[in-house]
């Protein structure tokens, strides 16, 4: 029987890593090459072609791997324009195939659409693995492991600062870590100064910092940071959406925390990473619920102005920041 695997999650790099582990475990001592490995992208390949490949015996090899990227048909995502995926054929294959090919469907999504017949069939006949994002501690351990493999190390305060600037984003951390290693050259240890010199604060972390400035009444810092982000081509309406998301999370976290929910439980309930909840709880303690509701209302009003007013969008966002900063009572 074919070995069917579905690997899904939010981080493509981790999905790819898990897929490689499955492939290496299947091929064992046989190297992956053009004779035993075929890769498709479901966005631009017909399902029938993939199924035909899966049912064709391998040449010059005893095993075959078929990797299918962007397997959107298992989610609620609509098919690309002019594409009509033959899901009936795939459903029949899943339920009846007796081959021994390793087939891996990669899905870049947080969840599968369990209402679909094809997903129900997968749950019966395939191995489904959700790849979770790293926790804060897992990310720190991964960073240290990567550095140790290069015979390098990182000081604890430098590690904490790196996470503070990047958040728990695998790709961003990976890119910034590469930059730091190039910067330090032959030096064996990364310091906090190295991180502060090289690493750019992520957009998400910048918006968190902006709301922190607002809470502290540091309106000039908040305005300056907002203008810097606009100079970096971030649209005011996008920045407002991120600000709104933060305040909504503060509100949700504060309510659930008062009901006795742990940070992990809050993260599961509202569907965000635990690290974001950790930061949200730190901020939420500084607000009353009525203040948060008032700010969320102001966010909605500002969103309407940005979409309907003839005023300059940057000015609208500046006035919004000044107004909520003015209304917050220390």
pLDDT at 97: 78
pLDDT at 33: 85
CA-based nearest residue to 59, from 83, 73, 76, 38: 38
Task: Return the structure tokens found at 290.
Answer: 């009525």
Res. 330 pLDDT band, cuts 50 70 90: very low
Once rounded to an integer, what is the mean pLDDT over residues 179-187? 95
Q: Is 310 exposed, middle or buried (0-12, 13-18, 19+ CB in 10 A)?
A: exposed
Report the alpha-carbon distance of residue 84 to residue 94 in Å, rounded: 19
Strands 153-154 and 102-108, by their bridges, are: unpaired
pLDDT at 329: 45
Which sign, positive or negative, has the C-alpha torsion 303, 304, 308, 314? negative
Average pLDDT over the chain, rounded to an integer: 91
Once rounded to an integer, what is the mean pLDDT over residues 236-245? 95
Q: Which residues contact 57 (CB under 8 A, 6 or more apart)?
A: 64
pLDDT at 149: 93
Task: Return the structure tokens found at 75.
Answer: 């989610």
Report the alpha-carbon distance of residue 10 to residue 272 in Å, rounded: 11
pLDDT at 96: 85
pLDDT at 326: 64
Q: Per-residue pLDDT tens for 91-150?
A: 999 888 777 889 999 999 989 999 999 999 999 999 999 998 899 999 999 999 999 999
pLDDT at 222 > cutoff 50: yes
Percentage, residues of the chain above pLDDT 90? 71
pLDDT at 325 > cutoff 70: no
**145, 150, 151, 155: CA torsion to nearest 10:** -60
Report the alpha-carbon distance of residue 84 to residue 46 in Å, rounded: 8
DSSP tag of 29: T
The residue that leads in pLDDT, 85 or 50, is: 50
pLDDT at 182: 95
Once rounded to an integer, what is the mean pLDDT over residues 278-293? 93
**193, 197, 202, 203: CA torsion to nearest 10:** 130
Q: Per-residue pLDDT tens for 265-279?
A: 999 899 888 999 999
């Amino acid at each position: 029987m074919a070995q069917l695997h579905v690997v899904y999650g939010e981080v493509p790099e981790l999905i790819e890593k898990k897929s490689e582990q499955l492939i290496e475990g299947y091929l064992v001592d046989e190297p992956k090459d053009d004779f035993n490995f075929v890769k498709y992208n479901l966005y631009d390949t017909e399902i029938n072609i993939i199924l035909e490949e899966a049912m064709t015996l391998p040449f010059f090899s005893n095993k075959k791997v078929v990797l299918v990227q962007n397997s959107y048909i298992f989610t609620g995502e609509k098919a690309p324009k002019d594409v009509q995926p033959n899901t009936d054929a795939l459903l029949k294959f899943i339920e009846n195939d007796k081959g021994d090919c390793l087939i891996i469907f990669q899905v870049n999504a947080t969840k599968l659409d369990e209402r679909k017949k094809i997903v129900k069939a997968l749950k019966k006949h395939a191995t489904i693995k959700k790849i979770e994002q790293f926790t804060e501690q897992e990310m720190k351990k991964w960073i240290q492991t990567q550095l140790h493999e290069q015979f390098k190390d990182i000081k604890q305060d430098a590690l904490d600062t790196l996470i503070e600037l990047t958040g728990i984003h695998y790709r961003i951390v990976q890119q910034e870590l590469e930059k730091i290693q190039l910067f330090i050259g032959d030096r064996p240890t990364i310091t906090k100064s190295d991180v502060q010199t090289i690493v750019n604060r992520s957009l998400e972390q910048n918006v968190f910092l902006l709301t922190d400035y607002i809470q502290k009444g540091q309106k000039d810092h908040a305005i300056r940071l907002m203008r810097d982000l606009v100079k970096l081509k971030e649209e005011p309406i996008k920045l407002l959406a991120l600000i709104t998301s933060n305040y909504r999370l503060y509100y949700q976290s504060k309510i659930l925390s008062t009901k006795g929910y742990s940070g992990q439980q809050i993260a599961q309930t509202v569907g965000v990473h635990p690290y974001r909840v950790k930061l949200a709880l730190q901020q939420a303690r500084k607000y009353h619920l009525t203040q948060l509701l008032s700010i969320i209302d102001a966010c909605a009003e500002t969103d309407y102005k940005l979409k309907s007013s003839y005023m300059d969008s940057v000015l609208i966002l500046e006035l919004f920041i000044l107004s909520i900063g003015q209304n917050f009572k220390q």
